[in-house]
């Protein structure tokens, strides 16, 4: 066979040059080109097999042409152009010949293997990714489902009307969203923040449970509904003081109970027990404006009313609402919107209902304690141990972080000690309790000294310095010029727990202030009056018996001492701007 070297592909027009026959010429002279094809194929196979065996014995590879032959010319260095004599097109182009494909593939694999092995060895920086146990390519099963990675925008409103749009995952719970908002709003995370489902067109609202999915709840809300970011100190208060939430006359058990707080909660959390809440409620008839006072009982299977007095026989019980696919809401303005007989209304709303008021089961209790008992029992019977787990998770996190809860002090602060300079010579205060008391006294004395210095520059003792009159306005517990009804509404929204308070300007006396305090689920108001003593202005709650130079001192004192109040100040109502 005649040798040829590998050339780039040419078009048929370029191949047809002087001395080279065109296709028509070859067709005319095809009789002269007849050869024994079978013999030619056998010769080619034999020659390629011998060629492969010879190439495998060589130490250096030689470029292989398309027709399976070797080029005799040595490879030229890169960057230089080999000078070869001009050859005629007839010598350069050969006829297509049958090629043994398997043999050529084996030669190409050997040539590629030799080129790869001749490269310098580079260490693999990630050998664990190339092992058979962990392939570097992600398998479809290793990726999370598409629903978990889906994101959605949720708009959340605060108490002052401001709002913020937050991008959340589809599996984000109400607790996770509250923690995110606390972080972005720079609030104190005391595990009392909650997400409120608010329906202004229906006059309903409820606090989402910490385990509920925000996206799932939003899918059941109408376009007018919205989420509110709010404090709720009473969310898990019934775990701390269950006897205050469940009056003895309203709770019955299917088995004998000792009446202790622990046994009371266990009966609600145990799915095998059968606790029951019973009592009279005002029930609004479906599709009508009238209300009826009926004897109602709440069980795990649902809410029932008796058609015959206080009888609880099965034939006299009628199902009012189911617990499984419903949620309990409190009425915002029941008297105005639904002509409710009392202000203590609540509602059992099916999850499928968006705007229809005909399917709402509206109920009214006689007082706040009864309403709280019904609504708390509904939550316990529906969610059970989930509520207790939601209550325990923050406490468990706090226990894990307790070694790190104290603020880190610098070396210079650790070298400081408390000193007492009341005598002729100073002494080191070694008792920690005494040191803390001395620090509080020093702080109060400093505030009094600064107040006296400012009063000296004022025109009259009845016109105190600007600092003492406005310093309280920077505190979260001061709510400015709000009405008595508005202060009561804020207290109710943020939880009727003992010690919940706020301060506001008095509407009757422009120089006075009012302390609004919750005790035993009742709201009380105490007026803070200005008083003069030795030419100085003070504030007092008890007609001048205990005097304070400003409202911050007053609040600090009653947080440590009950005094004339029914309880200590414990929680303050707060509004944050998102």
Q: Which of 363-377, 381-395, 412-426 has the lowest mean pLDDT?
A: 412-426
Name residue 331's beta-bridge partners.
Answer: 204
Mean pLDDT, rounded, for 251-279: 77
> Tokens in use for 420?
């007492």
Beta partners for residue 251, in sequence order: 277
Q: Which two tokens stand for residue 512?
A: 């006075």
Tokens of 351: 């999850």
Note the pLDDT of residue 396: 80
The whole-model pTM stands at: 0.63
Q: Which residue did the predictor score with more confidence, 239 or 2? A: 239
Q: Is the dihedral of CA 248, 253, 258, 263 positive or negative?
A: negative
DSSP category for residue 249? G
DSSP state of 429: -
For residue 74, pLDDT over 60 is answered with no
pLDDT tens figures, 137-162: 555 555 555 544 688 999 999 988 88
Residue 15 has pLDDT above 90, yes or no: no
Average pLDDT over residues 538-559: 90
Place of tokens 């020659």: 47
| Residue that wins the pLDDT comparison between 123 and 535 | 535
What is residue 111's predicted lDDT score, i.e. its pLDDT? Answer: 60
User: Does residue 319 contact residue 336 with C-beta atoms inside 8 Å?
Assistant: no
Mean per-residue pLDDT, 18-32: 47
CA distance 569 to 564: 12
Task: Flag whether pLDDT at 119 surpasses 90.
Answer: no
Supply the DSSP string of 323-351, one letter for each residue: STTEEEEEESSHHHHH--SSS-EEEEEET
User: How far apart are the C-alpha atoms of 289 and 360, rounded to whole Å?
Assistant: 12
pLDDT band at 533 (very low <50, low <70, confident <90, very high): confident
Percent of the chain with pLDDT strictly greater than 70: 63
Which residues are paired to 279 by β-bridges? 296
Report yes or no: 181 and 174 within 8 Å, Cβ to Cβ: no
pLDDT exceeds 50 at position 516: yes
Q: Which stretch of 110-124, 190-204, 261-275, 525-539 has the lowest confidence by average pLDDT?
A: 110-124
Residue 246 CA from chain centroid, whole number: 32
Q: Is 350 exposed, middle or buried (0-12, 13-18, 19+ CB in 10 A)?
A: middle
- pLDDT for 277 equals 93
Buried b vs exposed e over 541-565: b needs ≥16 C-beta within 10 Å?
beeeebbbbbbbbbbbebeeeeeeb
Which structure tokens are listed for 296? 């109602």
Compute the mean pLDDT over every residue in the chain, rounded to the nearest whole number: 76
Other CB atoms within a 10 A radius of the CB of residue 195 amount to 25
- Please check whether residue 567 is in contact with residue 519, taking contact to mean a CB–CB distance below 8 angstroms: yes
Lowest-confidence pick of 42-46, 54-58, 80-84, 260-264: 80-84
Q: For residues 313-324, give the mean pLDDT.
A: 92
Residue 284, token pair as written in the block: 């609004």
| pLDDT for the residue 332 | 92
Determine the length of the chain: 578
CB-facing half-sphere around the CA of 251: CA atoms within 13 A: 26
The pLDDT of residue 182 is above 60: yes
How would you write 294-308 as a 3-class SS string? EEEEEECCEEEEECC
Residue 11: closest CA among 93, 97, 99, 98: 93
Spatial contact of 505 and 473, defined as CB atoms under 8 Å apart? no
Can you give the C-alpha Rg of the chain in angstroms? 44
Q: What is the pLDDT of residues 36-46, one digit of tens each?
A: 666 666 776 66
At residue 263, the pLDDT reads: 78
Percent of the chain with pLDDT over 90: 40
Q: Which two tokens stand for residue 337?
A: 């919107």
Query: Mean per-residue pLDDT for 78-106?
Result: 50
Mean pLDDT of 510-526: 93
pLDDT of residue 406: 46
Tokens of 258: 């000792």
Tell me which of 184-188, 281-285, 290-294, 539-543 is least confident: 184-188
């Amino acid at each position: 066979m005649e040798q040829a070297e590998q050339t780039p592909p040419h078009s048929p027009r370029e191949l047809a040059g002087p001395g080279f026959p065109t296709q028509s010429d070859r067709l005319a002279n095809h009789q002269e080109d007849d050869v024994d094809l079978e013999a030619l194929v056998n010769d080619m196979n034999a020659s390629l097999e011998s060629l492969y065996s010879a190439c495998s014995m060589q130490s250096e590879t030689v470029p292989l042409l398309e027709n399976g032959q070797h080029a005799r010319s040595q490879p030229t260095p890169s960057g230089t152009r080999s000078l070869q004599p001009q050859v005629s097109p007839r010598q350069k182009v050969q006829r297509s010949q049958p090629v043994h494909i398997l043999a050529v593939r084996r030669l190409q694999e050997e040539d590629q293997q030799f080129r790869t092995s001749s490269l310098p060895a580079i260490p693999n920086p990630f050998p664990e990714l190339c092992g058979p146990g962990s392939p570097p390519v992600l398998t479809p099963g290793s990726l999370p489902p598409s629903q978990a990675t889906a994101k959605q925008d949720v708009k959340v409103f605060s108490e002052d009307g401001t709002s913020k749009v937050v991008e959340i995952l589809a599996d984000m719970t109400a607790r996770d969203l509250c923690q995110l908002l606390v972080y972005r709003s720079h609030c104190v995370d005391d595990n009392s923040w909650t997400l409120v489902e608010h329906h202004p067109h229906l006059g309903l609202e409820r606090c989402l449970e910490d385990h509920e999915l925000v996206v799932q709840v939003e899918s059941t809300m109408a376009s007018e509904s919205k989420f509110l970011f709010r404090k709720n100190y009473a969310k898990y208060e019934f775990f701390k003081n269950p006897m205050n939430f469940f009056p003895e006359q309203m709770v019955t058990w299917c088995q004998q109970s000792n009446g202790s707080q622990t046994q009371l909660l266990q009966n609600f959390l145990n799915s095998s027990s059968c606790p029951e809440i019973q009592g009279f409620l005002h029930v609004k008839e479906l599709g009508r404006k009238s209300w009826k006072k009926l004897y109602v009982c709440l069980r795990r299977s649902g809410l029932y009313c008796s058609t015959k007095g206080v009888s609880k026989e099965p034939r006299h019980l009628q199902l009012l609402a189911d617990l499984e696919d419903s949620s309990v809401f409190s009425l915002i303005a029941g008297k105005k919107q639904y002509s409710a007989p009392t202000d203590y209304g609540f509602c059992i709303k099916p999850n499928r209902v968006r705007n229809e008021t005909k399917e709402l089961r509206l109920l009214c209790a006689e007082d706040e304690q009864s309403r709280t008992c019904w609504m708390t029992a509904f939550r316990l019977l529906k969610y059970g141990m989930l509520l207790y787990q939601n209550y325990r998770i923050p406490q468990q996190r706090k226990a894990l972080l307790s070694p790190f809860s104290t603020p880190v002090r610098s070396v210079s602060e650790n070298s400081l000690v408390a000193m007492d300079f009341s005598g002729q010579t100073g002494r080191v205060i070694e008792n920690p309790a005494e040191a803390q008391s001395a620090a509080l006294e020093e702080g109060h004395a400093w505030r009094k000294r600064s107040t006296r210095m400012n009063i000296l520059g004022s025109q009259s003792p009845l016109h105190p310095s600007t600092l003492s009159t406005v310093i309280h306005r920077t505190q979260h517990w001061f709510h400015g010029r709000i009405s008595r009804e508005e202060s009561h509404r804020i207290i109710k929204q943020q939880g009727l727990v003992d010690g919940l308070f706020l301060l506001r300007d008095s509407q009757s006396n422009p120089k006075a202030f009012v302390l609004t305090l919750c005790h035993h689920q009742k709201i009380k108001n105490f007026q803070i009056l200005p008083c003069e003593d030795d030419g100085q202005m003070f504030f007092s709650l008890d007609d001048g018996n205990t005097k304070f130079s400003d409202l911050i001192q007053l609040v600090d004192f009653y947080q440590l001492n009950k005094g004339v109040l029914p309880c200590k100040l414990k929680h303050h109502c707060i509004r944050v701007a998102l």
